[in-house]
Amino acid sequence: MFSKVISSVGTICFAFLFFIDHTKAEITHTVNENDTLWTIAMDHGVSVLDIKKENNKSTNAVTVGEQLTIPEGITPEEEELLARLVSAEAKGEPYAGKVAVATVVLNRVNSPEFPNSIKEVIYEVSPTGNPSFTPVQNGTINQPADKESKKAVKEALAFEGQGHGSLFFYNPEKATNHWIATRETTTIIGNHIFAR
């Protein structure tokens, strides 16, 4: 009798854990009066395009009370790592430049030419044997991210998939690898040239 009770309790616990594990990625957002797809994407750290795709929306219009399924975004750890990279890499650059640096990392994750995760892209070693990003090489990536860089990451996540497809950025006054200058320039922000 006791073993049957233990077995039943174990089955119930397993079923509960199974249910929780498979529903954790789905979040529902009820549209409020001042919400836009942009603000919803910023709040949840996901792209506008992903929200539209998840909800079969062809426009950016939302209505008060509408229920939107929010797709799973990046982990808090990935978001923090990306913010630390942006903070170190784009220190002293305009806000738009910080967003663009974060966007380069996200574009690399989505490109077949680069690794498939934020962490792998950030810590990737170049063909010369050095880390691809200077803050990884000099250790400044380990310093806390500033508030503006954290906001820039949220904006880059919301904007994902809508930019120029930049995969690289460099400061022409500091770059030692002249190969980067052969890439197509997508935009110039502050001291950085962005390219693909």
Residue 138 pLDDT: 96
pLDDT value at residue 25 = 57
Domain that holds residue 38: 25-71
The pLDDT value recorded for residue 163 is 81
* Residue 81 in domain: yes
The answer as to whether 20 is a domain residue is no
Residue type, 14: F
77: its two tokens: 């750890």
Q: Quick one: 62 and 43 in the same domain?
A: yes
Flag whether 9 is in a domain: no
Q: Is residue 143 one of the residues assigned to a domain?
A: yes
Surface-to-core class of residue 55, CB atoms within 10 Å of its CB (0-12 exposed, 13-18 middle, 19+ buried): middle
94 and 190 in a single domain? The answer is yes
Please give the model's pTM, rounded to 2 decimal places.
0.81
Q: How much is the pLDDT for 59?
A: 94
Q: Tell me if 186 sits within 8 A of 166, measured CB to CB.
A: yes
94 by Cβ neighbours in 10 Å (0-12 / 13-18 / 19+) ranks as middle
User: Torsion-angle region of residue 183: left (phi > 0), alpha (psi -120 to 50) or beta?
Assistant: beta
- If the chain, 196 residues long, is cut into consecutive pieces of 10 residues, what is the mean pLDDT of each piece? 45 42 67 96 94 95 96 95 97 96 96 96 91 94 97 94 87 79 90 92
* Helix ranges restricted to H, 24-140: 37-44, 48-54, 76-89, 95-110, 118-122, 134-138
